[in-house]
Amino acid sequence: MRARNVRRAAALAAGALALPFLAACGASVQEFSVGECLDLSDAQGEVSEVPVVDCSDEHDGEVFYIHDFDGDDYPGVQAVSEELQQACVDNFEAYIGAPYETSEVYINVLHPTEDSWDRADDRSGICIAQIPGQTLTESLENHGA
87-119 pLDDT, tens digit per residue, is 999 999 999 999 999 999 999 999 998 998 998
Instruction: Answer yes or no: are the C-beta atoms of 127 and 87 closer than 8 Å.
Output: yes
In a domain, residue 72? The reply is yes
The rounded percent of the chain whose pLDDT value lies above 90 is: 61
Residue type, 61: G
In a domain, residue 142? The reply is no
In a domain, residue 33? The reply is yes
Give the whole-angstrom CA distance, residue 54 versus residue 103: 23
For the chain, how many structural domains are there in total? 1
Q: How many residues does the chain have?
A: 145
pLDDT band at 15 (very low <50, low <70, confident <90, very high): very low
| Residues in contact with 27: Cβ distance below 8 Å, sequence separation at least 6, in sequence order | 116, 119, 120
**Between 6 and 98, residue with greater pLDDT:** 98
In a domain, residue 51? The reply is yes
pLDDT band at 50 (very low <50, low <70, confident <90, very high): confident
Give the structural domain span for 76. 2-130
- pTM listed for this prediction: 0.81
Mean pLDDT score across all residues of the chain: 82
